[in-house]
Structure 1
């Protein structure tokens, strides 16, 4: 099992599959690197080296009490890149992981980065503020925290069974396996780590980070994303990232890596080759 220890003693688990140009994957809340397996298998099979870590407090990584914030997440990833001496990386981030990619570039620049992909990503900021009136009210995330503390296992099951995959939409093809996999990954997350991460993904403002992007960037979002609504996310991010390419998946939900797997894999491969 491949692991790396950060400067503050946190052990991060990571997968390192294949050989070739490097692609990194940053997962969403409260998941792990397992969420990217379909994309990693596909791209590694097409000549790429695919690296995905479990964020601190998630999956098989250790569960420190502190550091459950975007600055630390980005610094952890930077230390992993340095330890593996990765160059010309295409960084791919989903949901919270998209915030991690944005904050990484904002704090560490693109000396090791060739391209970036933000998919269903939380930037520029999820919560409603005076500067972001299209955002979701803070009460929404307070509700997340309340449900999390009352019955985390049931809350995770409800999210996976409904809005995350869009299984609550009429005619949706429901996969019990996908629900169980999401629930399993979520329950691996440290209790405090997962709780703290709600604030990290919802209240962090990535506006200035996005303005620092200076590599080709693909922004992908489903127009029926019930977790990260497209209007306050991709539509704004695509205007903040210089020369960003925006692709909207019609009828697409939040978890395109599962529900639109073949289309997403093809789009990622095409972007890597472009």
Structure 2
């Protein structure tokens, strides 16, 4: 299927690994121009080179910025060219006790996970509306509703993203611009791989045994009963960035393997 993404320019935050990098790969295959973002210049450049080697015909570049630092975000906004597709993927989480976490832990996660998308959308949405075409996607998490007790601040930010996304979508009424949220479930990112490896060593098990136990003992609501591949999430994101998704606006699309339950 041709997703009609040739000549579209996409900016992906947090794109040097995980879902962000897989999305960059998927968009590059479709012929879109890609601008990656990462915190560290060196890692960002490695990711750019990796994509350029895999897709030599694609236009791939990058802009480094740490979204916990508003001054770096302002500098990034001054460098951004015209953007057709904004994917607010950057995020962070910290596992900890509610009773021990300080206010700074809450603010830090809110700054990166929510305000990054707010600042970028405030800059780019008016231009998309003026062009009568654009796509903004926020990446949330199943934790927005499942809320693990050691991830309460993180879950709060991922729930907030849903409200921001829906509110912005309402500003696009009658236009060719859409704003949606993708809600992944447990996904085999680099962080998840590290969790499996460390737990396997600690408990004297294989990674496969640890993964099975996670879904039979912790994420029991999952119908998939395995970690989703980052490519599986990226496939959905890529479709929603395309002109073919024009009737999908203001919604949260689950790629959660059924873990969040419900019929909608």
Q: Which has the higher helix share?
A: 2
- Output the TM-score relative to the length of structure 1: 0.40
